[in-house]
Amino acid sequence: MNTTSITLAVPEPAARILTTLAAAWDGVSAWIAQHRVWVIAVAVLAALAVTAVARLRRSARRRWHEGARLVAVLPPAGLDPAAALAGARRLWWDLPGLAPPRWKRLVAGLPHLTVEYHLSAGEDLALCMWLPAPLPTSRIDAALRAAWPGTLVLDRTDRNTSRNPAATEPAPRTRLVVTGGTVRPERPEHLPLRVPDPRDDAADPLRALEAVAGQLADGESAVVQILARPAVGRRLRRYRRTVDRLHSGRPGRRSAVAGSVSVLVRELLEIVTGSKSTAATHDAGDRPVRRLDPQQTEELREIRAKKLQPQWEVGLRYYAATTATGPDAVARVRGLADSLFGAFALLAGRNALARHRLAKPRAAVEARRMRRGALLSAAELAALAHLPARTDALSSGQARSVPAPIDATRRL
């Protein structure tokens, strides 16, 4: 019986690469076998160090929540939408200095603060801030008063729940029908959202939230939660490198690892095929002049404007709940949740916010834990988190015989 052997012809450059890789692997295996004790000791020490850092971070986060404070922020009377948004920009430009030094972030992590809008039937839109233990309340209080003169900050950590404006939902033991989700940008983070003009009060997302609050019936409640912490370290450096690459005409890459893998694959293909890439065949002085259309130029200008601002890592969650039961209750809370998400559709521009599924939204909002958020500038965060406007007609507490202004959605 004749057998036919088939041999595959491997190009000489590829064969040299395979031989080199095999020799390198044999050398590494021999070195590990020779220094086995040291390798095991280093691996054990590395595992112990990682475990110690993880435990330190868990204990630090536990102390954050145990010593956290909940403050209610009451806007001053006569706060117009332009002043509300301008004050928010000042606030989020001022607070990035709260970030701890690098060594402390490595051991304990980076704390985040939380801005919450609580909606309930028959009540005004209530704004509360949750401050973990490392953030000084006096520093936040001073920043709030500097952003909006006349703002009243009340500590509501240990007071009676019945008087707490944040406690706008039924007791935890009450069975609720809950629907909610989380919101993240649908495009790369270097593309900015549309920041509304402070003079255009119709583009304020909080107007839509106040409209939802006016539609709530007895037993219904809703919460919109914004978690924010300063963007520092490696995340911020990678974002800035991406923006610099876009302005130099090169495509933005997600990470240095992906770029290294791309370069390695391109070099291997050049060795195997014997051809050179287009970039290598042209000198630096022979590159054609890159011409951009007006739309791309405007996009790069907005990207650069976002880079020049302080950056925040932001998470956005929401949920709507009702004590009613049945199919009608499910449809009702779904409609309320859609209205909550629609309040932020006004910020769609170069980038837009897209909602995603969130398991147990009420428990996630109450836990106030943040893992990884979207990278937003101070102006974008100001459009999301600012004080609701309060006109003189509404803050005076007097009944009027004329209809309320069009920009006033607070219940009389």
Reply yes or no on whether the pLDDT at 168 is more than 80.
Answer: no
Whether 135 contacts 98, CB under 8 Å: yes
pLDDT at 310 (0 to 100): 92
Average pLDDT over residues 360-386: 90
| Cut 0.85: pTM above it | no
Reply yes or no on whether the pLDDT at 281 is more than 50.
Answer: no
Reply yes or no on whether the pLDDT at 314 is more than 90.
Answer: yes
Q: Which residue has the higher pLDDT, 189 or 203?
A: 189
Average pLDDT over residues 378-385: 92
Q: How confident is residue 274, by pLDDT bands cut at 50, 70 and 90? A: low
pLDDT at 129 (0 to 100): 92
Reply yes or no on whether the pLDDT at 380 is more than 80.
Answer: yes
Reply yes or no on whether the pLDDT at 288 is more than 60.
Answer: no
Q: What is the DSSP letter of 350?
A: S
Is residue 119 classed as helix, strand or coil in its secondary structure? strand
The tens digit of pLDDT for each residue in 204-242 reads 788 888 888 888 888 889 999 999 999 988 888 898 888
Question: 53-57, 227-231, 372-376: which range is least confident on average?
Answer: 53-57
Reply yes or no on whether the pLDDT at 309 is more than 70.
Answer: yes
Average pLDDT over residues 172-197: 85
Q: How confident is residue 14, by pLDDT bands cut at 50, 70 and 90? A: low
Whether 179 contacts 334, CB under 8 Å: yes
| Mean pLDDT for the chain overall | 78
pLDDT at 261 (0 to 100): 67
Whether 356 contacts 184, CB under 8 Å: yes
| Spatial separation of the C-alpha atoms in residues 372 and 385, rounded to whole Å | 18
Q: What is the DSSP letter of 323?
A: S
Count of residues for the chain?
A: 412
